[in-house]
Every structure is written in C-alpha cells, then in structure tokens.
Chain A
Amino acid sequence: MSESIAGTEAIGIRNAVKRYGDFTALKGVTLSIADNEFFTLLGPSGCGKTTLLRMIAGFEAVSEGEIVLYGERIAHLPPDKRPVNTVFQHYALFPHMSVFDNVAFGLRRLRKPPGEVERTVREMLALVHLQDFADRLPGQLSGGQQQRVALARALAPHPQVLLLDEPLSALDLKLRQAMRGELQRLQRDTGITFVFVTHDQEEALAMSDRIAVLRAGEVQQVGTPEDIYLRPENRFVADFIGDTNFIEARVERVLEGAAELIIDGGIRVRARLSHRVAPGEAVTLSLRPENIVITAPGEGLAEARVLAQTFLGPNSLVTLELPGGTRLHWRRSNQSGGGQGLGPGESVGLRFAEDAIAVLRS
C-alpha cells in the first residue's frame, strides 16, 4: 500500500511481522505516520493494535521488518532508550507515589534539574486540570482523574511520539466524549505526534487526522476519517465503520475514476472507483443509509416500497425494497417539521446522493 503523506515522517513501520509461536499477530504491516499527526489504529479486539503499539514502545520485539523513528531505526533499542511514551490502557500509575511523583518520574530518570522538574510537573498538571491534586495518591482519584494523571505523566518528558492504548475505554460515556476534545486539544497544544489505539469507530472518526483500519494483523485502509467513512475500499472497512448497505451489482461501463453499474436487475447507477474493474464483472457496492434521497413516487431513479421503520431518536431507519427484491436501509431525519412518517406498504421514489456509492474491493 503506497500513500504519500505531508511533512516529515515521525514513525515508519515497514513490513512488520509479529509471531507468537505458530500464531501470526501482525502479517506485514506497513504504515507511515507523519510528524505532529493524530494517527489512530482502529480495529476489532484481537486484530493486533496493542501488539503494534508495544512494538513501537519496545515491549515486544519485531519478528521481521523495521521500525523507524524520525529516520532512525529503533527496533534494537530497549524501551527506556526510545523517546516515546505510553498511556497504558489501565493507566499503570505507580500506586505508592503521589500524583506529583508519578508525573515527575520520567523527568527524574532523564536527570532533569529539580527546578525544571518542579516547573514541568506543575505545567503538566495544569494542562490536565489537576493542579490541586499533586499530593494525592492514585488510589484517591476517580477513574477520569487517574486517566489524566497517566496523560500528564506520559507527556511530561515531552516525547517525540505519544502512544495511547484505548485510554478512554474504562471511562463512562459522558466523560469519554468530553475527553475526546481534550485529547485533541492536548495534541495540538503540545505538537507531539499521537498514535491512538481504539476499537471504537466513532472515537476514531471524531479525533483523528488519519486512521489505519486493521483486521487480523493486516492493514485494510489508511486515510482521513472522511476517506474511511465516505470512501471505504473494502467490505470490512465499510461494515466496521458506521452502517452501510451492501448492494450486488454488475459493471456496465468503466469511466475515469467511476463506473456505471446495474443493480437490482435493471437500475443503472454511477459509483466511485478506487481500483480496476472490467465490464461485466460482478462487484459489491457500499451505500450509506443517509445517502438515499426519497422523492415523490415516479420522480426518482427507481421506485421502492416501505417495509418497516425503526425509531432511533434523532433519526429512524426505514427498510425499503426495490422492485427486484433488493432491500436498502434509509436513514431518515426526525427533525421537527420534517413531514409525517411513512407507513409500511407505501410507495416512494428514490435516488442516490452524488458520489454516494463506492465500489468495494472483493
């Protein structure tokens, strides 16, 4: 997978393989993470996110491949010799040290003068709004506060790269959402490259500059949140991120960066193309439910019948059936004054928003 990135490369992972006995946890991962980027590794549990992070931190050796940090190979360096800090999933705060001593730990190991240690620790505690908690022990803090101590502790030595392993997963929903903005602010304020691990697609979309989607030790797609959500390249990515309709189609005509296809036994649609296809080929399309546009019967691209409707709060998911039997989910806004609901059996016309359909790699 080749892609160009802007600016200097902070981390280069070249063909990294990790084996545990017979089991291959990472199957040749290649990634290039830019300086000052908020980069997210997204994937289901067990896909190898933590393994990759631990290889960058130095807790796991690479079985094959290279890891490059700002142009230097680091695969042979022990963790304490890498200018990289980690926010651990369960924080791993030192329970016998005060918040101050926890945050000061890295600076003291780097033999910074006491004055500088004091100043930087105060600065970091202010950055995470914990200036009044310096003398507490970690056991006397709430989960959210411990999380911020872990952040301050990892940021204090001003590493070149900060690694975060699902740092928000132990927090409750409200706090988790608040911390998203907080993490983005910290990344911008410090200018440190963040490598953030999560299995939560919403979190990844909300915070990242770029996302790498992983599955079973392989990179599926790398791109901006818009790329990943709007232009998924394969079925796994389309399915894992958000809701989507998968539509079976046959290629009719290949154009530049797009193709004309036939769906549902006769409806002609246009779809974006990120790889080569040949006329006549059977392919799968992805169409997000919010990209269906409903019209009066007879005024759209095709006719459809309403099968069912599920109320979800801000919107409803309506199941539609095309004449040829293809079923589609349509996400309908429940905004006030948005007209009345549709009853089962009702007929509607529909068309698709511009650029809304993607041809998936098989």
Chain B
Amino acid sequence: MSARTRRRAETQAETHSGAGRIAHFGWLGPLALAFYAFLYSPIVVLIAYSFNDSRFAMIWQGFSLKWYATVLENGDIQTAALNSLVVATAATAISVSIATVAALALARGGAFRGKTLSMGLIALPIVVPEIVTAVATLMFFSAIGLSLGLGNLIIAHTVFCIPFAFMPIRARLQGMDETLEQAAADLYASRWEAFRLVTLPLLAPGIFAGAVLAFVISLDDFIISLMISDAGTTTLPVYIFSMIRRGVTPEVNAVSTILFSVSLVLVSIYWLASRPKKDEA
C-alpha cells in the first residue's frame, strides 16, 4: 500500500512539474468548481431545509427532525414506499435473470445471425426517450386490457431495467477468460457444474452490480411510473410529485432526502462492486 501511495505521489509530482501545461489550462479549475456548485447546491439546500423547524420551506427557523417524524407517520408515504420497494425488488430479480441469460448467450453461444442486432435491441431502452416508452407501454397495457395492479408496474420496470442490469454483467463476462470454463470441462465438470462452480462465482460481482443498478433505476423512476400507476399503486417518486402539487412543505424535503440517501448508498455499493479487483486479472 505504501509503495502504491508513493508511486501515486511520484506521478503527481511529475504531472505538476509540467507547469506550462497546467498554467495553460488554468481556467479549468474555476470552471469545474462552478459546474459542481451548479449541480449540487440545489441538493444541498434541499437536504438542509429538510431539517428546518418551520412550516414554510424557505424560511430557516432552527434545526429539527420533526419533518422526518411526520414522514414516518404518514400512511400514504409508507404505502408508496412499500410499493416502490416491491416493484424495485421484483423488477430487479426478473431483469437480472433475463440479463444474465442474455449476456451468456451472446458471449458464449457462438456466432449466430443477428448477434449485433440482438445486442443493439437490448441496449435500445437506454436511448429511447422515456416518455415514448411510457406512452407506448400505457397504450399497450390498455390495448390488451392488462390490469394486474403492481404487476403492470413490475412488467414496465423490468423492461427498462434489463439494459442497466445487462451492461455490467456483459462487461464482466467479456473480461473473463473462456479457457477457465474449458479447464473446468477438462477436469470432468459437466456443463452445469462448470457454470455453477466457475462461471457464476466469477460473474457474481457483475450480477450484483447489475442488480444494484437496476434497483436504483427502478426506485428512482418517475415518468413511466406516473403513467402506469393508479390510485392504489403509487410509487414514492410519484407520491412526492403529488405532494409538491399540493404545496411545498419541508416534508417533501425530508422524504426526498431519504430517497436520495438510499440511492446514494446503492450507487456507492454498485461502484465498489464493479471496480475491477487486482488479483482477478
């Protein structure tokens, strides 16, 4: 570790010795700072006012946790949060399973016609405007008369979660040496044993990262949920939106802060899980 730290220090010293270059790009620093300020100050303000001991969102009166207590006692918020969790969990489980099978088929299934097309189709939901997907899904569900309550939401979420679950799994699989599976077969492992004992454990960090990403995406989704949900199946983001329409109180700040914290934790976990480990090269 100390060796690595030292090496990093040396690299930095080298970089800094190229003073001419740094000076040339001197305006980059303030620019970056302004960018971060623009990006994060609204969130900081939102979080700060969630601790405000006042009924009005924008007048600071002192520190208090009372709005968090209000949130926790609010039955509608509890229901919405539970809906969000149920939908996110189910959509994650289903989309990760589908993404894993798809990634394996594409990476190990040999060449087949339309392989590139299949890859593109899996990634498509990322680039299609969400409102288009939302409207299309809504029209599709009503056309076939599907009304499964939360089931509708789960199906819609699964579809847009698949590409996000797929990407880290596929990346992990591409970095994985195919000869490992051949070595397993060479050592008398059946196909299933080779998958269970070699492929799956090595793929696990990718699957985990994909699951976390899918979960966050589902949890934070607003547009599609707004279209698909009805009175009984409101998710948390949709509920927050309806609260704002009734007037902004620090309660909105508090529930938003909670949602933000959960996402932040999950994204951090995702980032840690998808970081390549040194001893697995």
Contacts and interface: CB of A to CB of B under 8 A. Distances in A.
Interface of A: 57-59, 78-80, 84-86, 88, 90, 92-96, 105-106, 109-110, 137, 139-140, 153-154, 157
A80 B188 contact: yes
Contacts of B198: 94
Given A86-B183, A88-B183, A92-B179, A157 B279 contact: no
B134 interface: no
Contacts of B180: 92, 94-95
Given A92-B177, A95-B202, A57 B279 contact: no
Given A109-B187, A109-B189, 15 more contacts: A58-B185, A59-B185, A78-B185, A80-B190, A85-B186, A86-B182, A88-B182, A92-B177, A95-B202, A95-B279, A96-B201, A109-B190, A109-B193, A137-B279, A157-B187
Interface of B: 177, 179-180, 182-190, 193, 197-198, 201-202, 278-281
Nearest to B183: A92
A96 B201 CA distance: 8
Contacts of B280: 95-96, 139
A208 B187 CA distance: 25
Most chain A Cβ neighbours within 10 Å, of B183, B186, B279: B186
Given A90-B179, A96-B201, A80 B279 contact: no
A157 B188 contact: yes
A342 B190 CA distance: 67
A80 B185 contact: yes
B188 to A, nearest CB: 4
A251 to B, nearest CB: 51
A105 B184 contact: yes
A79 B193 CA distance: 13
B273 to A, nearest CB: 15
A88 B197 CA distance: 19
Contact of B189 (A57, A84, A93, A105): A105
Contacts of B182: 57, 59, 79, 86, 88, 92
A153 B183 CA distance: 10
